[in-house]
Structure 1
Amino acid sequence: MDAMQKMEQLVEQLNQYNYHYYTLDQPLVSDKEYDLLYDELTALEAQTGVTLPDSPTVRVGGELLQGFKPHRHLASLWSLDKAQNEEQLQSWNNRALKLIADYNAKNPANPLPSPTYVLELKFDGLTLNLTYTDGKLVQAATRGNGVVGEGILAQVKTIKSVPLTIPFSEGTLEVQGEGIMNLSVLAKYNETAAEPLKNARNAAAGALRNLNPKTTAERKLSAFFYNVGYLENLEFHDHREMVDFLKNNRFKVSPYVTYHDSFDHVMSELKHIEEQRSSLDFLIDGAVIKLTDMRTREVLGYTDKFPRWAVAFKFEAEETTTILESVSWNVGRTGKITPLAKVEPVELAGVTVQNCTLNNVGDIERKNLKFALGTRVFIRRSNDVIPEILGKVTDDQDGAEIVYPGVCPACGTPLEQRGAHLFCNNRLGCKPQIVARISHFASRDAMDIETFSEKTAGQLLDELHLHEPADLYTLTFDDLIKLERFGEKKANNLLQAIEESKGRDLASFLFALGIPNTGKSTTKALADHFRDLSSVMSATVEELTVIPDIGGIVAESIVSFFADPFQQAGIQKMLELGVSPKAPEKSSAAAVNSFFTGKTVVLTGTLQQLSRDEATARMEALGAKVTGSVSKKTDLVIAGEKAGSKLAKAQELGIQVIEDEDEFIRLLNENAE
């Protein structure tokens, strides 16, 4: 085989792997295997001086461009009429129904079918229009004014989910989609970026309209495709056929597309999408409703601006701008000093926002916020978490300075900066640290000491000088009865709860200790793997990183925590006072050939009859492995109410789904298939 033939073979092979990885989310080979083939292709290209047009090496970006050239679209890219509420949506539907009825009355021999609907997500990125001729990508452009856009072919080629060649090779077609930056990709990019990106929408648009394609490649954009605007030699009967055509030609199509026979079902699904919006890994600002039948679309046609057969429903904004008024500093359980921003009150995602997180001093620097007091900033609210400040609206340093504290705002101890964070090292004398540490230790997911609260922790510190969790096990009835608001019943109940906590399992005890960079899933993995406290405490980094999902940083945190004499002394004191954390005996049920044995299961949505922890524990006892994300390795998804993106991905991948909770309970109660 000569060099050219080998290059053609490698290009075809690597493009196949890219398609499965970036479009289908179903990798066929490991990164190492892919890299070896990629390096072989790169060496051959250097040797021959030839780069094939659809080589994956063109996706890294080429030379700096001189400017954007105008591109006239073969078919117009229409804007959509917008509806802000249900009444406006109903009005759109009523108009469409009337137009259909009028046409059918005039054409009884060839009536239009009863209307059906397709519901799609409205992505918040940059519209792309791709042109393919004889199966080759020959142009890519922005929407522009709908008639003429800007040519951005070099930039779009860096998006690995965009096919450079497609099976359809019988003429020219135009395909529309949206270039986006996934939120997880944005977060990872900003961890090391010299200039963090303010939001995903601007990041995608800025990358695609950047004259340096290498910058575009660094952003690791993705794209979803949803429409064929122009096509020679082929027509579609309905929207579903068009989407199948896109899939068959290797375009990445959103899994969140639903079809409905009634408009009431459309309205219900809209509410469902809005509820699940915050769980998506990309920005959407609404949904699009279209009539599915293509002949109906042709008959209804267009106004001067919009198609009559489609409408966009806008959700409430999750991002907005407001004025940064002040910054205060809070002390956490580990001594970390966290800035809290107060902003000018603004409505965002249905609530009034006044406080926003700034994470740490490093975050302030990276987001160009050091001189931002009194200036306008971008904020984003996702789910029910406190909104985050994304950055300044302008790049000017035109505001008052955010002054970093030199001493702890609670105890006055000089602060130490470690990486991007400020810390107070006064562990035994700083009240917020002590109260938070003891409250966390006693919380439900930790030692589960009933009736205990943050207020109780503060009172025990102030009046009984309780400084660490181990001190809880030294409390006596005489200690408690003399405290304000402590009667006999309350004192006895607390002492009983403390006594009962001594038998908590090992995973809960490890979580209660508050090891940095670990949560419930990590401490459970530690307990399941080592099954003994002393083994966890003496584990090396190498022994810890053998455990799935524990990387080097988490392993270092665990080793450092247990090497701390302060932590060792506290744990030893608790053991001497009767605390006895043990891993539960492995259930023999796992050996039973149950329905769940050997399956990798994902729970999503809300169950009514069991808590998530109970459902997880029962499946694990029957031999299942319960994980948090859906992939091709997932065998089963249990979908409760309001299940969102995980359910959609499972359906896309053809994974078995159980949506009937009664059926799920029946399977749990069955010890065998």
Structure 2
Amino acid sequence: MNAKDQMEKLIAELNNYNYHYYTLDEPLISDKEYDAMYDRLISLEQESGIVLPDSPTQRVGGEILKGFAPHRHLAPLWSLDKAQNIEQLRTWHERVVRLIDDYNAKNPSNPLPKPGYALELKFDGLTLNLTYTDGKLVQASTRGNGAVGEGILAQVKTIRSVPLDIPFTDGTIEVQGEGIMNLSVLEKYNQTAAVPLKNARNAAAGALRNLNPKVTAERRLTAYFYNVGYSDGVSFQDHKDMMDFLRENRFKVNPYIFYFQSFDDVMEQLADIEAKRASLDYLIDGAVMKLTDMRTREILGYTDKFPRWAVAYKFEAEETTTVLESVVWNVGRTGKVTPLARVEPVELAGVTVQNCTLNNVGDIERKNLKYALGTRVFIRRSNDVIPEILGKVTEENDGEEIQYPEQCPSCGFPLEQRGAHLFCNNKSGCKPQIIARISHFASRDAMDIETFSDKTAIQLHEELGVKEPADLYTLEFDSLVKLERFGEKKAQNLLDALEASKGRDLAAFLYALGIPNTGKSTTKMLADHYRDLSRIMEADAEELVELPDVGGIVAESIAGYFADPFNQASIERMLSLGVQAKAPEAPAVISSDSFFSGKTVVLTGTLHLLTRDEATEKLEALGAKVTGSVSKKTDLLIAGEKAGSKLAKAKQLGISVLEDEEEFVRLLNEG
């Protein structure tokens, strides 16, 4: 296939993707895949010297939707040139420096200043262009093709962060920004939505381009503003001056704006932004670098499509599309049967993805995935966790059906559906449940039985008939030494570790039981509050829900667990075999006037200078109350590396955040 034929094929595909992405808000492929095809087309055009008239490289935007009144922008809305890596960013910078040096050589009496840089986040939403005349919002529009957009004033008025009037009343201005949906808002919306939204970008674009403003309002969008594209009656000396003007006029300006005189400092900040990307409560797909001086911008000017004084740096994609090949069903320690998707291998965020989470039957139904086998789906990966499937690329039921199991895939026991989940109730006869329950019981954060592993659990179950944690305390030396890979030393070490575990405290024992919907912080809170196992076992849901960080679901889980005769018998048996489940000692408060005294504190992310347990112990000794979830009652969040949703929620609620671990340790030591 010659170059022209390749270009015609690429142009047809790209224009089709553009139509679905910009006009119908139905993307068929990921941005990463699109960018690769677009870059290939540019290379072919440069190599051949041929540019076909319908090439997407020759235009800025998309088509106007019928049903919206067209709006001609007072000044063009430019696209940005893209840098896919640091080398391309340096190439852009070298070109800027060369253009400035060339101008100064020709105009020595009035030279341009040395380049200064503004670095901003590149939001993944829908571009907005707002028109204000004499202080009043008179029009709002999409980017459209850069010259003409779609009038969406009624829709934009539903965004509460958009001012309807501003203090500046001396003429007409056009302000550009990005309409977005916060990830926390999207998550809450999808919990009750009849049709869940696939991702925050599509949610924002679809809401702003919906002919019914009520739909827009329901999605609770927000917007950040970053440019004044047209103005009469006001001018700016530099970018900071413009941002101050926007803030003074009640526009929402994102706090992540950085100013530098050194290009190398920009590179360092870029790495920091990318590292913190997953902790943000909104989608970004890169950062934008701009020269700060307005006179320099004016003189450097524009190419046919891009300003020469700005560039977008694209991060590694967190979303892409791939083919859903099959679904397997796995049984967990609580009996929950969970679907796991096998997908066509695809590169995403630096790793090869082959498995994706599907959560439960309800998740499959809500995301229109019931008939999705063999079709293309959107996947997203963040925070180094297993990627999740967001939904099908198309809305049609054009794939093979995902069959829900009626019997347990491991033991064949009939499954029960409770809410959105399937459960196997064969607790004493389902091998994956038994193995997982025993392994969890023996784990480090639970009973901490040294030398124990999943392989040990499997071997003890298969060869010695261990079916529940209580059985571990009946093991005998003569039986263990007969096992394969068990010598006298290993057998005795295991028996010694089991004996030592009998003295673990109440919080560790409660966590080891594996009560559904509870983690370490909840079981520790229960131990600290009741200080007696029998009192916890007798507590009902109404009593439990009054405790800190215990909602209705968790309260029902705890009460239901201890009401189960199977669990009661297992606990009584362990106690009769010497397990003590010691009540915790009341923490000795070292200081009542420390920085942390009286504060409700939440820990999140990875700490490197001390463990989470050590941090909790020190905080409580200094008079703090450590809880597991962020709420309006939280006074302080300690955020370690790769902090995620808790950090985003804390910032949303305006809670104080301490992200410097060395400062955290200093404050602990001072106390």
Judge which range, 352-361 or 519-528, deviates more.
Answer: 519-528
Classify the secondary structure of the residue corresponding to 1:313.
strand
1:414 aligns with 2:414: yes
Match of 1:173 in 2: 173
Give 1:580's aligned residue.
580
Matches within 5 A, 1:250-399: 250-399=250-399
Deviation at 1:628, TM superposition (A): 6.7
> Would the aligned equivalents of 1:637 and 1:650 in 2 still touch at CA under 8 Å?
no
Q: State percent identity of aligned pairs.
A: 76
Deviation, 1:300, is 1.8
In the superposition, relative to structure 1, how do residues 160 and 581 fare at CA in structure 2: closer, same or farther (>3 Å)?
Answer: farther
1:521 Cα shift?
2.2
The 3-state SS of whatever aligns with 2:389 is: strand
Match in the other structure for 1:546: 546
User: Are the aligned partners of 2:125 and 2:204 in contact in 1 as well (CA < 8 Å)?
Assistant: yes
What do the CA deviations read for 1:150-207 (whole angstroms, capped 9, x no partner)? 0111111222222223333333222211111222222222222222222221111111
Which residue in the other structure is 2:23 paired with? none
1:658 and 1:350, CA in 2 relative to 1: closer, same or farther beyond 3 A?
closer
| SS of residue matched to 1:320 | strand
**What is residue 240 of structure 1 aligned with on the other side?**
240
Code of the aligned partner of 1:82: K
1:413 Cα deviation after fit: 0.8
SS in 2 for 1:558: helix
In the TM superposition, what is the alpha-carbon distance from 1:436 to its structure 2 partner?
0.6
- How far apart are the structure 1 equivalents of 2:546 and 2:484? 50
Counterpart code for 1:376: R
Whether contact under 8 Å (1:163, 1:250) holds in the other structure is: yes
| Aligned-residue CA RMSD (Å) | 2.6
How many residue pairs get aligned? The number is 606
Q: Which AA in structure 2 matches 1:405?
A: P
* Closer/same/farther in 2, CA of residues 629 and 113 from structure 1, 3 Å limit: farther
Say which SS state the counterpart of residue 88 (structure 1) adopts.
helix
Residues 320 and 378 of structure 1 are in contact (CA less than 8 Å); yes or no, is this contact kept in structure 2? yes
Once the two structures are superposed, residues 541-580 of structure 1 have per-residue CA deviations (whole angstroms, 9 ceiling, x without a partner) of: 2322222321112111111111111111111122222222
Q: Counterpart of 1:589 in 2: which secondary structure?
A: coil
Whether the 8 Å CA contact 2:607–2:661 is kept in 1: the answer is: no
CA–CA distance in structure 2, aligned partners of residues 409 and 652 of structure 1: 44
Match of 2:230 in 1: 230
Does residue 560 (structure 1) correspond to residue 560 (structure 2)? The answer is yes
Deviation (angstroms), 1:495: 1.9
Shift in Å, 1:492 = 2.1
* Residue equivalent to 1:120: 120
- Structure 1 pair 648/496, CA: closer, same or farther in 2 (3 Å)? same
Superposition pairs of residues 65-144 of structure 1, within 5 angstroms: 67-144=67-144
CA distance in 1, matches of 2:402, 2:128: 40
**Residue aligned with 2:412, SS:** coil
Task: Report if aligned partners of 1:650, 1:657 keep a CA contact under 8 Å in 2.
Answer: no
Moved more, 304-313 or 616-625: 616-625
Kindly provide the amino acid, as one letter, of the partner of residue 304 in structure 1: D
Give the counterpart letter for 2:333 in structure 1. Answer: R
Closer/same/farther in 2, CA of residues 413 and 166 from structure 1, 3 Å limit:
same
- Matching residue's letter, 2:206: G
Do the aligned partners of residues 226 and 526 (structure 1) sit closer, same or farther apart at CA in structure 2, a change above 3 Å counting? Answer: farther
Amino acid at match of 1:559: A
Structure 1 residue 412 displacement after superposition:
0.9
After TM superposition, give the deviation of residue 451 of structure 1 in Å.
Answer: 1.5
Unaligned segments of structure 2, at least 5 residues: 1-64
Cα displacement string for residues 603-635 of structure 1 (whole angstroms, at most 9, x for unaligned residues): 566543212332232122211244678888766
Task: Go from structure 1 to structure 2 and tell me whether the alpha carbon gap of 1:243 and 1:343 turns closer, same or farther (over 3 Å shift).
Answer: same
Unaligned runs of 5+ in 1: 1-64
Structure 1 pair 648–533 and aligned structure 2 pair: CA distance change class (3 A):
closer
Alpha-carbon distance in structure 1 between the residues aligned to 2:99 and 2:653: 35
Shift of 1:590: 4.6
- The equivalences for 1:506-521 within 5 A come to 506-521=506-521
What amino acid does structure 1 have at the position aligned with 2:496?
A: Q
Q: Distance in 2 between matches of 1:295 and 1:388?
A: 47
Residue in 2 aligned with 1:55?
Answer: none
Change (3 A) 1:135 1:620: farther
Tell me the residue number matched to 1:423.
Answer: 423
The aligned amino acid for 2:416 is E
- Measure, in 2, the Cα distance between the counterparts of 1:271 and 1:68: 41
Going from structure 1 to structure 2, the CA distance change for 1:643 and 1:326 (only over 3 Å counts) comes to closer
Give 1:340 shift: 1.2
Q: Which moved more, 1:243-252 or 1:350-359?
A: 243-252
Q: Which residue of 2 aligns with 1:213?
A: 213
Question: C-alpha displacement at 1:91, in angstroms?
Answer: 0.5
CA shift in 2, pair 1:654/1:623, >3 Å? closer
Shift of 1:70: 0.6
Aligned to 2:60: none
Which whole-Å CA distance do the structure 2 matches of 1:184 and 1:301 have between them?
39
- The within-5 A match list for 1:453-532 is 453-532=453-532
Q: Is the partner of 2:75 in helix, strand or coil?
A: coil
Q: Tell me the CA shift for residue 583 of structure 1.
A: 4.2
Tell me the TM-score normalised to structure 1 length. Answer: 0.85
DSSP 3-state at the match of 2:278:
helix
User: CA-to-partner distance for each residue in 1:509-565, whole Å, 9 max, x for gaps?
Assistant: 222211111222222222233232222222222322222321112111111111111
Distance 2:366 2:252 in 1: 33
What are the superposed Cα offsets for residues 457-512 of structure 1, whole Å, 9 maximum, x if unpaired?
Answer: 11111111111112222222223222111112222222222222222232222222
* Amino acid paired to 2:88: Q
Aligned to 2:27: none
TM-score, normalised relative to structure 2: 0.85
Structure 2 residue 660 is matched with structure 1 residue 659: yes
